[in-house]
Structure 1
Amino acid sequence: MLEELETRLKSRRIRPTAMRLLVLEILQKQTAAVSLQDLEAAFVKADKVTIYRTLKTFEEKGLVHCIEDGTGIRKYALCEEGCVCAPEDVHVHFYCKGCKETYCLPTSKVPAVPMPERFRKVEANLLVQGFCSLCDG
């Protein structure tokens, strides 16, 4: 398991420190996107700044993507293999109004939006809100 985590970090040119390995391990176990506070709570003792810097490094290197789900809290999820986090790679996210979880929908891509001349697309987001299968019972 540790070797797999190290390999995943090295494939994105991220030096595998102890904290980075721990954060990656936690992210791999998640079924929904997590916030900095969620990650901080997963550790008995952890420096919030170190966790934040780890997430920023992961985001800069394309290992995680940040999700703005309308709650005002940034959430993070692992990128799919082969993702380069370009606007054409972005998938739809789903925010459940019941359990307040944010899910990646990797098979639902954000549609291409033709840009007028002199406009350059940097990022794109599409958030669908509703109720997940657990909350819509």
Structure 2
Amino acid sequence: MKAEMSTENTGLGLEEFSQILKENKLKVTQPRLRVLEVISTKTSAISQPELEKILGTEIDRVTLYRILASFEEKGILHKVFDLNGTATYAFCSTRCSADHHHDQHVHFICSVCNSVFCLDEIALPKIKLPKDFSLHAIAINAVGLCDQCQKK
């Protein structure tokens, strides 16, 4: 059971996070659980520097980098780049796996606060490629103002 990220918190707890780790053949450790816990409370994708600020000295930078890389590799998280080129992370949908990320959807990036939101409910168009072309990923970003920046 993997979580879907939207503009709302996932509502998952430590039991569900432990199950996600076990299903992906990852050891259940406090740092991994803590990273999942923090990401689950966010309404938008989160960067490694933001995670470092929240976690403080709980998890060192190298360990955090390895956790994020392993979560992305296993299909637990997906990475999307904000307008500054900073990688941000959000939960993958239930269809993702270590073999293939099926979590291709539109990402909304706020041009003021630079927050990245997954818009899972917007269907991507079918893409017909020329002969002998192969598709590996689709990246569509919508840029504008998020609800919080609209209010300012």
Asked if these proteins are the same fold (TM beyond 0.5), I'd say yes
Quick check: 1:28 aligned with 2:20?
no
Task: Please list every run of 5 or more consecutive structure 2 residues that lacks an aligned counterpart in the other structure.
Answer: 1-12
Quick check: 1:129 aligned with 2:148?
no
Asked if the contact 2:79–2:88 (Cα under 8 Å) also holds between the matched residues in 1, the reply is yes
Q: Which runs of 4+ in 1 moved over 3 A?
A: none
Which residue number corresponds to residue 47 of structure 1? 60
Asked if the contact 1:110–1:125 (Cα under 8 Å) also holds between the matched residues in 2, the reply is no
Measured against aligned partners, the alpha-carbon deviations of 1:19-52 in whole angstroms (never above 9, x if no partner) come to: 1111011111110001010111111213111101
> SS at 2:26's partner residue?
coil
TM-score (normalised: structure 1): 0.90
Cα offset for 1:133?
1.9
Matches within 5 A, 1:15-94: 15-45=27-57, 46-84=59-97, 85-86=101-102, 89-94=103-108
Partner letter of residue 44 of structure 1?
Answer: G
> SS at 2:143's partner residue?
strand
> SS at 1:13's partner residue?
coil
Cα offset for 1:127?
0.2
Aligned residues: 135
Measured against aligned partners, the alpha-carbon deviations of 1:41-89 in whole angstroms (never above 9, x if no partner) come to: 1112131111011001000100000002331101110112233423xx4
* Percent identity of paired positions between Structure 1 and Structure 2: 36
Partner letter of residue 29 of structure 1?
Answer: T
Equivalent of 1:96 in 80, 98, 110: 110
Measured against aligned partners, the alpha-carbon deviations of 1:76-111 in whole angstroms (never above 9, x if no partner) come to: 10112233423xx40100001122211110111332
